[in-house]
Amino acid sequence: MEASSIDIVVFAPLAPILGVLLFWFIQLVFIESEKYLLSKIRSKHEPFCRFTNFLGILFQTICHALGFTITKSGISNFYIDIDYGKVAPKKERKGIFEWVSNVFLFIGPFFIPAFLLLICLFFLMTSGFEIINPSQLQELRYTFGEQITSFGANLFSFTNGFFNFLFNIDLLHPAHFGFLFLMIFLGMGIRPSYIGKEKKEKVDMLYDLKNIKNLFINKPIYLIILFVFAYIFFYISLWLGTNWYVAFFVILGWLSIISLVSIIIADIILVLIKTTDEISGKWKVFPYLTIPTSYLVGRIFFFYIPTDFTRPMSILILILSTITVTYILIKRKTDKFKTKSDIKKLKKKRKGVKDG
């Protein structure tokens, strides 16, 4: 068998799979950055941090319930609170059904919530959903390089359309504003920080990787079956001369891109919260007031002085104004010296920690 034939038969199907795994791993890293920022503001914003944890548990529990629904196990009990969530099936199913339910529990939260945003984008975005085949102008070869190139080209096309939409988003449009709100909602709660009322079980990157490792190592036969189905799907696409195989993994890549952008926006908000905590008194409210005020001023200004870049320029004014106001307030309104009462409270706190 020639080298090119071996490439097509053995290695080419792995290209889009490796691409999705790479983006999923990047997603895990960014989730860790978000949890780090949450830990930095937890002491002053405990209710807010508990709310983000609740969102993560909500998404996770819904994904688990969806897994039971897909496997026709049914749902007899659905419980969720601020610290913990649990779904009980009507029928206890073992084997492949139990395994699929666990896949939805451990992997679903990384993709399924973003699917809701993807559906919204179908109605809001005008470009980026076309599945591009780099080989359209030449003979189809379906090699590893061609598959990874096709995967990357399609992700770039979607990312370009997605960022074009975000840069031109109209915050005065209910649908656009609602989509941005959902993005923040998803970014803040894509994963919980802990599970259990006493915070006994910390949820971090290692926790997720351990669960996923156990999911596949305990039942390796199911992982083999998945790879067999993937290869069969690839060979069918090759035989029909289509790009269906890459298109499937491209959609998973779209979901990862949406999740990554949502997490980055959430990180920016957390950085703003952490930064404004350094501002003393009521002045810390001003950066948040600057956000809607500067955007409205920009839109009014460009209403009377029309330009082709009204929306992106208004977003730029919002960003620059918020950064400027925050920077000035930090320089002028930051507590540089603690009062005597603050020092006494700090000493008592340290003493209590030592005694404990």
Considering just the CA atoms, what is the radius of gyration of the chain in Å? Answer: 24
CA gap 184, 169 in Å, rounded: 14
Q: Is pLDDT above 80 for 337?
A: no
As given in the structure block, the two tokens for residue 235 are 């060979």
Query: What would the mean pLDDT of 120-144 be, rounded to a whole number?
Result: 72
CA gap 308, 216 in Å, rounded: 52
Query: What would the mean pLDDT of 165-189 be, rounded to a whole number?
Result: 92
Predicted TM-score (pTM) of the model is: 0.85
Average pLDDT in the chain = 84
What are the E-state strand segments in 121-165?
none
**Any residues with CB less than 8 A from the CB of 311 and at least 6 apart, and which?**
167, 168, 169, 170
CA gap 226, 256 in Å, rounded: 20
Q: Is pLDDT above 90 for 270?
A: yes
Q: Which pLDDT value is given to residue 332?
A: 81
CA gap 293, 301 in Å, rounded: 12
Query: What would the mean pLDDT of 224-243 be, rounded to a whole number?
Result: 87
Pairing of strands 201-202, 85-88: unpaired
